[in-house]
Amino acid sequence: MKYIYYIIGILILITIGFSFRLSGLKVEVSEPAIIINDRIISKSELGERAKFGSYHSRGKGFLNSVITRELLIQEAIKQGIHKEEAFRKSVETFYEQSLIKVLVDRKYQSLSPAVTKDMIGKFKEMLSKTIRYTKFVYENEVDVQNGKVKSTETLENDFINLSESLKFSLFLLTPGASSKPEFSEEGYVVYRLDNVSVSSKANNIPNDSQVRAFLSDQRKRAQFDLWMNETKEKADIQILTHEKVSEEGQI
């Protein structure tokens, strides 16, 4: 929960920044580039905005966009929006989302799953097959362990027409083998490969580099999910309510 303190710190800095503006104090800035009412934007600040802005924002309309943005901020302060609880909540939410995005991006970049020639060959072979498989849905992990099935459905499709995640779950299985439990909106899902036959349709088979990229991405997802599950297992989590939560987040 340490990140909560970072949120509080950001809110304090924002409040201090707004306080300076509201107090009418003028901060001395070296090499001013633009002055908008009491707000001084230095050349270095302008350069930073251009550096981290989008390609289009650095075009001819860049200065105009900076001025427009500043005028809107000043008007929001005049109306007291920065003091509203909704604003503070939006800052907190934005911080959390940004924090999670950076973490997920870094974790994905750190993953480098191996994709062998045998895996590529097996996947390409399966793309020309028709498969019959059974889908088992369980209510929770305990039911998976106890074999208490919620629903069962047997399906038959050309392998190439399956969803990407389902292709990845099934392509290495042999008839009779089952995939690992996967969490979904239905519950925990397990797939059993029942039969493999040659498809009657002519399918366009991707090349090795395309298959390698696909399998690498799917293996990264699987490794990330495994890391996330391990993180949950190590955490001290206490659910103190047995009430069901609606899609709107209401109990």
What kind and span of H or E run contains 191? strand 187-198
For residue 250, what pLDDT band results from cuts at 50, 70 and 90?
low
Asked whether the predicted pLDDT for residue 54 surpasses 60, the reply is no
> What pLDDT was estimated at residue 156?
96
CB-based contact 34:63 (threshold 8 Å): yes
Mean pLDDT for the chain overall? 84
196-to-84, 168, 249 alpha-carbon distances in Å: 61, 15, 43
Give the pLDDT mean for 223-233. 90
Question: pLDDT tens digits for 61-111?
Answer: 888 888 888 999 999 999 999 899 999 999 999 999 999 999 999 999 999
Q: Which amino acid is at 159?
A: F
> What pLDDT was estimated at residue 232?
87
Taking residue 159's Cβ as centre, other Cβ atoms within 10 Å add up to: 21
Using CA atoms, how far apart are residues 148 and 138, in angstroms rounded to an integer? 7
Asked whether the predicted pLDDT for residue 229 surpasses 60, the reply is yes
> What pLDDT was estimated at residue 62?
84
Give the pLDDT mean for 55-59. 53
Question: Residue length, the chain?
Answer: 251
β-strands 129-138, 32-36 pairing:
unpaired
> What pLDDT was estimated at residue 1?
45
Using CA atoms, how far apart are residues 163 and 171, in angstroms rounded to an integer? 12
Between these two residues, 127 and 8, which has the higher pLDDT value? 127
* Residue closest to 73 by CA, chosen among 8, 29, 18: 18
Question: pLDDT tens digits for 165-221?
Answer: 999 999 999 999 999 998 888 999 999 999 999 987 767 889 999 999 999 999 999
Return the domain boundaries, the chain: 2-110, 117-233
Give the pLDDT mean for 33-59. 78
238: tokens are 């206490």
Domain 117-233 CATH (choose: 1.10.3470, 3.30.1460, 3.10.50, 3.40.190) = 3.10.50
- Cα 203 from chain centroid? 32
Give pTM, 2 decimals. Answer: 0.66
Using CA atoms, how far apart are residues 128 and 202, in angstroms rounded to an integer? 8
Using CA atoms, how far apart are residues 122 and 170, in angstroms rounded to an integer? 11
